[in-house]
Amino acid sequence: MEPQALQIIETQPDDTILLNEEALRNILTQDEIRDRYVAVISITGAFRGGKSFLLNFLLRYLKIKYLEKRNVTDWLTPEDGPLKGFSWAAGSKRHTSGIMMWPQVFLTTLPTEEKVAIFLLDTQGSFDNQTTMDDCAKIFALSTLISSVQIYNVMRTIRQYDLTHIQCFGGFGNLLTKGESAPFQNFTFLVRDWACPYEHPYGDIGGAAMLEQIFSSKNPEIQEQVINIKSLFNETNCFLMPYPGRTVDASNTFNGSLDDIDESFLDSVSDFVTLLLSPENLVLKTVNGVKLKAEDFMCYITEYCNILKDGDLPKMETIFKATIEAHHKAALMQALKIYKKNMDVDVKYSPRSSNETELFKKHTTNKIKTIDYYTKIKKMGDPHIFDKYLIRLKNEVETEHKRYRVLNDERKRKLEETKKRMEEAQRMAGARASSSGLSQLNTAEKVGIAASVIGGVAVLAFGASKLFSSSRGNND
């Protein structure tokens, strides 16, 4: 059965949003994913702009490149069948609601040797006459907060209201980093159905020329919006894409067949997807310059949804606080993993149990390493939040210490029981041998006693050899 996009954020009739936390956790905390860095590609923009349709091109590239590991020199061929994956529909009504995530996660290793998991997000279209402006702003805000690349899908050109839509998010950006750096990462204007290639050619070069033309406008209002956008994003790009063809645009029977799509569009979308998804071009998700792993990513999504879930848009200070909370919560989880990993080696997987003094020493050593990791993280927010999570981390470590004490005691008990059984077996074997005589034993019993004797001799010989080598070493 073919996978289907999973709705991770749902908009409710009462203007609230709902996070499908269980489904999201099942994806992000898989063993092969949880410790990988994440690259999150999201697409947003006005409804009925072909966002879901475009995402299926990204999906095809990801499957061929990272799942099937095939050559992507020519990855758009009819032989691979029609486009499929994210659901789209012809017509004037909204199709996608909330935020959808593709459940398959694509794994790769960058040229830098960093292991990465790639996620695709599809967002509800804005300005659809069914959704309030507050809901549109929340979905836009949330998708921008959690993505490493935000694709802003527009039709035919970039208009001033597109810049206004982005500007509504500016206050949070300045608050998040206090002007020291851009709070968000890559923002790409994707201009669909561009009809003037004689002014600016299709692709990223034409897009850069268009963006430069807009950004150099003398209109004071546009200048203010441009300054805002530049302060929000590390990088702002633009890509111009041609019309996909009459069959795609005006037919209710189009099923994703590449034969029905104009050749110029296929060439352009191939360039765009390669620029976006080839290993050397992937943008990793960061917050305040720190790269996020999948398990950390879960913390941020949860915190942002908690403060955005109510009907009214929160103040920018509230979003900033949620980011700080998620930042320290993720650091706490990573630090605690270090403690548990080290204690697993020292206790859980150790071939012997420890006495109370040894166990406490191991606990203390690993606790110091854990706290040291947490205190060295890049700080966000005031010391009060840092201290709050430091106290919580210490409490979590002590709780884990109790668990390892129980584990060690259980190990000790089992070893003592095994030792008693062996001693009892040896005693019984000796008693039977002395009472009945070796000559009266059957073959199996003789073999058992012989094995015990040989084993004992081997142990004594090994001990003697160790003693001898030790003595010789001391004499040397």
Alpha carbons 223 and 214: distance in angstroms, whole number: 9
pLDDT at residue number 457: 39
For residues 86-111, average pLDDT: 74
pLDDT at residue number 134: 61
Q: Which residue has the tokens 């004499």?
A: 475
Domain 6-311 has CATH 1.10.1200.10: no
Reported confidence tier of residue 132, pLDDT bands at 50, 70, 90: low
Q: What's the pLDDT tens digit per position in 252-310?
A: 778 888 999 999 999 999 999 999 999 999 999 988 778 999 988 888 888 878 776 65
Q: What's the pLDDT tens digit per position in 145-189?
A: 889 999 999 999 998 878 877 766 544 544 444 545 567 889 999
pLDDT at residue number 94: 44
For residues 86-107, average pLDDT: 70
pLDDT at residue number 319: 59
pLDDT at 42 over 90: yes
pLDDT at residue number 472: 41
CATH topology of domain 315-436: Methane Monooxygenase Hydroxylase; Chain G, domain 1 (1.20.58)
pLDDT at 102 over 60: yes
pLDDT at residue number 167: 67
10 Å Cβ neighbour count for 106? 20
pLDDT at residue number 168: 62
Q: What's the pLDDT tens digit per position in 225-252?
A: 888 788 788 899 999 999 999 888 777 7
128-132, 139-143, 350-354, 367-371: least confidently modelled range: 128-132
pLDDT at residue number 187: 93
For residues 60-74, average pLDDT: 92
For residues 32-39, average pLDDT: 93
Every domain of the chain and the residues it spans:
6-311, 315-436, 441-476
Average pLDDT over the chain reads 79
pLDDT at 111 over 70: yes
pLDDT at residue number 467: 34
121 bridge partner residues: 42, 101
pTM of the predicted protein model: 0.69
Q: What's the pLDDT tens digit per position in 372-416?
A: 888 887 666 667 777 888 888 899 999 999 998 888 888 888 888
